[in-house]
Structure 1
Amino acid sequence: MNPRTTAEIATPALIIDADALEQNLSTMSARHPGSKLRPHTKAHKCTELARLQLSHSHQNFTCATPREIIGMAAVGVGSDYLLANEVLDADRLSALAKVSENSRVTIAVDSLETIDAVWRAGLREVLIDVNVGLMRCGVAPELAGQLADNARKAGIAVRGVMGYEGHLMTVGDDEKRKMRVAESMKLLTRAAKDVGGEIISAGGTGTWDMHDQTGINELQAGSYALMDTHYEQLKIPFVQACFLLGTVISRSKDWLVIDVGLKSLSTDHGNPSVDGYDVVFCSDEHTTLVIKNESTKALANIGEKLLVRPSHIDPTMAMHSVAWLTRADEILDRWKIDLRGW
């Protein structure tokens, strides 16, 4: 039997608020229309949600895994895919060569080894991934031009550069974040002059409105669509659109327990949030809650359902195979989270 209301959904379950999602997509596309935004599918791993992003004029997508590109192309969502992640497995990359027959596929590279993997896979377009301060992937800015030359010598076209200022996404003070983003992007635009090409790609949800003067021409944001409490602290104009629905399965005099735990949401950015409650701790299948000091509400009863706001949406989505699209308590659709895997 297909559930018609959220009360009928087995928990734990992902719930997406259709109106909040539409608000977020509209807000972002108004600021970054068309190719100015390259939405990051890693944040939701769902082709149905990507289809909505496409309907908001975004044809080009950022992906974190070959699986995401293959899945997007299979359902005809998008026409220009960027694998914004270094992959050394030429066999895995070779699956993208078939996609590139009908769509544009570009691979991020930051070393001779990643260039070689791209060449062996039969792919012929790359972006030079430049380190702009995050201790993760990316070639040193001063070496980006040389790496681009090596790619071109191998017969690979270099479309431009990308860099991710992930270490700045949640700097609390807006002005300080904006200043540090500008400094970070100077590294990228200097590298872009050495590399050549038409693309300067960077940014994310936390810096979505800080690139008007930085020189980048496409934004790689993803979490804005569904949001989480980690980004919520920035007071940016995106609202929580995705929740975990949990059921109260146990209750004592002072606390209660819901059936949402570490196997259904990520806590790498902190505990989740539940309105009216403080989270004591999360364990594998459980989250223990107590009433907030200032709240006058009573503990929910066993069997009642509560909405949980995750602190990090990307890995939370990857833990589930389906999400329920809702409006109030009505179920509108059942979406597969069909881009999981590598």
Structure 2
Amino acid sequence: MRVADLTTPALLVDAAALEANLADMASALPGPRLRPHVKAHKTTALAARQAAHGHHGFTCATIREIEGMAAAGLGTDLLLANEVLDARRLGRVVDNGARVTVAVDSAETVRAAADGGVREVLVDVDVGQHRCGTTPETAGALADAARAAGLTVRGVMGYEGHLQMLADPAERARRTTGCTDRLRVAHADVGGEIVSGGGTGTHAMNTFVTEIQAGSYALMDTAYTAAGLPFRQALTVLSTVVFAGEGRAVADAGLKALATDHGHPTVPGGTVVSCADEHLTYTPGTPLRAGDRIRILPAHVDPTVVLHERLHVVDGDGPDAEVLDTWAVDLRGW
């Protein structure tokens, strides 16, 4: 199959760019130094490629991701880096032989883990994002409560998500140090062999943690690219121009194919004007005709991928580029 044979909109992954990203990150953070976050791609076939680069522990955002990774034989060491109040499905995954650790940040989430059959936890610490997480000062007491409930406390985690795409690397590094100072205080009281955190934007500067939870590096998007990170844009959305004229072009990929929470997507050589449910309107830099194909760069990889059922791995840029493989986005849903 060639790219020209695909029905649009379609999610494309450049094989060479993906492999370069995986290899570069494996060189920067080898083996257990990286715990790839599958929420960015929700695809077990891509996770298997990350495992082939030496990363056998994975970060997940949902119970569905935990279940799917375990079913795909990738359950050596799975971390659910979110709190849940019903862990029974996680307990069943543990009973079936996978290793599952869940984040806890309150007495309620500790009780849910124990009642659900999960045996291992990380204490989640709020390092400045002000989403989930306990305070550094209360982390030790929460760890004691988890141990009293029969749980093994493997360590702490904290995510500086609010810093990932700061444009100034020096400012990003300075503020990351402030976040890790909070995590350091918590770990001193909690103990354990794991200090987990970070992401694609801080992977090179968060040196205190024992493992980085990066995910977007594999596929990338325009928001992360703008932050000056050393990874290639591997993900594009293939779209067909359905109208061209009067100084504008309209393509068949809108809000149901492209996430816009980080701003408009990008059409190389053009200027995006608006996104509607099924359409993207932009001012093209060169003349176009109805039926032409374009590749759109998403602004946010995670919620763009989840809008699609499959990823097409392709070799090259043009319409005659070969489709090397098609991977199901099989970790979608709840």
* Fold match (TM-score > 0.5): yes
Write the distance in 1 (CA, Å) between the matches of 2:44 and 2:322: 22
TM-score by length of 2: 0.97
Write the distance in 2 (CA, Å) between the matches of 1:152 and 1:77: 27
Shift in alpha-carbon separation, 1:42–1:223, aligned structure 2, 3 A: same
Q: Spell out the pairing of 1:182-261 with structure 2 (5 A cutoff).
A: 182-212=177-207, 215-261=208-254
Quick one: which amino acid aligns to residue 62 of structure 1? T
Structure 2 residue aligned with 1:64: 61
Write the distance in 2 (CA, Å) between the matches of 1:197 and 1:133: 22
Aligned to 2:146, which of 134, 151, 156? 151
Name stretches of at least 5 consecutive residues in structure 1 with no aligned partner. Answer: none
Paired residues of 2:87 and 2:118 also in contact (CA < 8 A): no
How far is 1:78 from its partner? 4.4
1:19 and 2:7 are equivalent in the alignment: no
Paired residues of 2:126 and 2:132 also in contact (CA < 8 A): yes
Compute the RMSD of aligned alpha carbons: 1.0
How far is 1:89 from its partner? 1.8
Write the distance in 2 (CA, Å) between the matches of 1:281 and 1:241: 23
Structure 2 residue aligned with 1:301: 289
Aligned to 1:140, which of 116, 135, 138? 135
TM-score by length of 1: 0.95
1:271 and 2:302 are equivalent in the alignment: no
1:330 and 2:325 are equivalent in the alignment: no
Aligned to 2:159, which of 160, 164, 185? 164
How far is 1:208 from its partner? 1.2
Quick one: which amino acid aligns to residue 339 of structure 1? L
Paired residues of 1:262 and 1:286 also in contact (CA < 8 A): yes
Paired residues of 2:75 and 2:99 also in contact (CA < 8 A): no
How far is 1:103 from its partner? 2.5
CA deviations over 1:69-127 (Å, ceiling 9, x no partner): 1111111124100000011123343333334xx22110000000001111111111000
Quick one: which amino acid aligns to residue 293 of structure 2? K
Paired residues of 1:17 and 1:242 also in contact (CA < 8 A): yes
Quick one: which amino acid aligns to residue 130 of structure 2? M
CA deviations over 1:9-55 (Å, ceiling 9, x no partner): 00001000000000000110001000000000000000000000000
SS for the counterpart of 2:48 is: helix
Aligned to 2:77, which of 75, 80, 87? 80
Report % sequence identity: 52
Paired residues of 1:87 and 1:93 also in contact (CA < 8 A): no
Write the distance in 2 (CA, Å) between the matches of 1:302 and 1:95: 52
Write the distance in 2 (CA, Å) between the matches of 1:260 and 1:286: 5
1:112 and 2:107 are equivalent in the alignment: yes
Aligned to 1:32, which of 17, 26, 29? 29
Write the distance in 2 (CA, Å) between the matches of 1:222 and 1:110: 23
Structure 2 residue aligned with 1:122: 117
Quick one: which amino acid aligns to residue 60 of structure 1? G
Structure 2 residue aligned with 1:286: 279
Paired residues of 2:22 and 2:50 also in contact (CA < 8 A): yes
Moved over 3 A (4+): 90-95
Aligned length: 330
SS for the counterpart of 1:335 is: strand
Paired residues of 1:165 and 1:203 also in contact (CA < 8 A): yes
